[in-house]
Amino acid sequence: MISETVFVFALLCGAEAGRVLVLPGKPTTMCETMGKADIWLIRTYWDFEYPRPLLPNFKFVGGLHCKPAKPLSKDLEKFVQSSGDHGIVVFSLGSMINNLTMERANTIASALGQIPQKVVWRYSGKTPETLAPNTKLYEWIPQNDLLGHPKTKAFITHGGTNGLYEAIYHGVPMVGFPLFADQPDNMMHMKTKGAAVVLDINTMESNDLVDALKTVLNNPSYKESIMRLSRIHHDQPMKPLDQAVFWIEFVMRNKGAKHLRVQAHDLSWYQYHCLDVVAFLLSVVALITFLFIKTCSFFFRKCFRKMHPDGKAQKNKKE
């Protein structure tokens, strides 16, 4: 059991919310809870992230759910093998999107029918009217096992962290339909790294999807880029899941690992925003300005008196 002084926060970077392992206590805000976290387990890695400075209690465990592919079921393996040398395309919009409008479904199905590859589409809505013989619909698919199959050539995804890291793990280039939350940012990462083409599912036409698939399938740079990211992902001293377990146990062994925790969380609001420092600097500036004005005024009066030594007498005589 985790002691009362130990908090672990997992930043899942996906549709799932972070889970904070805390014992019951007085009500607290989410920001306060996050501020008490002793270790952050971030579900990405440098194969996905851009280089940036981070605190010592931020640990990347991206792809901790990924694992080698298992054999497919007989009927699914038969369909995959029927693709021949062209291979297959895996299409899934995740567990939160089960169906589409008939217009969008027909647009997508029409495009999928124009490529030589077979398509495994996770879709539970009404069968599109333009569904082609090369496309097979499934209410559920073993996504990791399909992405790890040697005949898989491309992955059409919404950009969720689970599917994205499975594609990186197995080295499968992507066509992205980001929908909400972190998905647009996830797919932009893959696009800038040369491993994906991104489309807007609400405005695209069939020919846009066909062009995107042909680009990913026929341009070798996309496969090379995703394989480079896959090599980076696999080239780690320990597996992401083992690393997550190690750091959780490390925090427990070291009673919260306070030596890794930044002290900014313990500052008051005015200290955190450096308002006390700003107030001190403004006071110094105000004091210097005041002294400068007084000094200038003093010398001005001295100089004026020297230039007009009888100024007071002349004034009195006039009066």
Q: What is the mean pLDDT of residues 54-73?
A: 91
The length of the chain is 319
The tokens describing 232, both together, are 């980076």
Rounded average pLDDT over 198-217: 93
Nearest to 19 by CA among 37, 45, 1: 37
Q: Crossing angle, helix 161-170 and helix 183-192, to 10 degrees?
A: 20
pLDDT in tens, 77-134: 999 999 999 999 999 988 777 678 889 899 999 999 999 999 999 998 889 999 999 9
Residue 284 has a pLDDT of 95
CA–CA separation, 167 vs 152, rounded Å? 10
Question: How far is CA 153 from each of CA 150, 170, 223, rounded to the nearest angstrom?
Answer: 8, 11, 9
Q: State percent of the chain over pLDDT 90.
A: 57
Query: For 123-175, how does the pLDDT look when each residue is reduced to its tens digit (9 = 90+)?
Result: 988 899 999 999 999 989 999 999 999 999 999 999 999 999 999 999 999 99
Architecture of domain 74-234: 3-Layer(aba) Sandwich (3.40)
pLDDT band with cut points at 50, 70 and 90 for residue 234: very high
Determine the pLDDT at residue 208.
93
- What confidence tens digit (pLDDT) does each residue in 236-249 have? 999 999 999 999 99
For residues 132 and 110, what is the distance between their CA atoms, to the nearest angstrom? 7
For residue 16, pLDDT over 70 is answered with no
pLDDT at 33: 75
Q: Count CB-CB contacts under 10 A for residue 228.
A: 15
Residue 2 confidence (pLDDT) above 90: no
pLDDT of residue 1: 36
Taking CA atoms, 110 is separated from 61, 102, 117, 140, 210, in Å, by 39, 12, 14, 21, 9
Confidence of residue 25 (pLDDT cuts 50, 70, 90): low
40 neighbors 248 (Cβ within 8 angstroms): no
**The model scores a pTM over 0.75:** yes
Question: Among 33, 38, 36, 40, which Cα is nearest to 13's?
Answer: 40
Give the integer Cα–Cα distance in Å for 217 and 223: 8
Averaged pLDDT, 39-58:
90
pLDDT at position 9 over 60:
no
Nearest to 28 by CA among 11, 7, 12, 14: 7
* Higher local confidence (pLDDT), 26 or 134: 134
**pLDDT above 90 for 313:** no
* Residue written as token pair 């700003």: 278
Q: Is the pLDDT at 20 greater than 90, yes or no?
A: no
287 or 23, which is more confident?
287
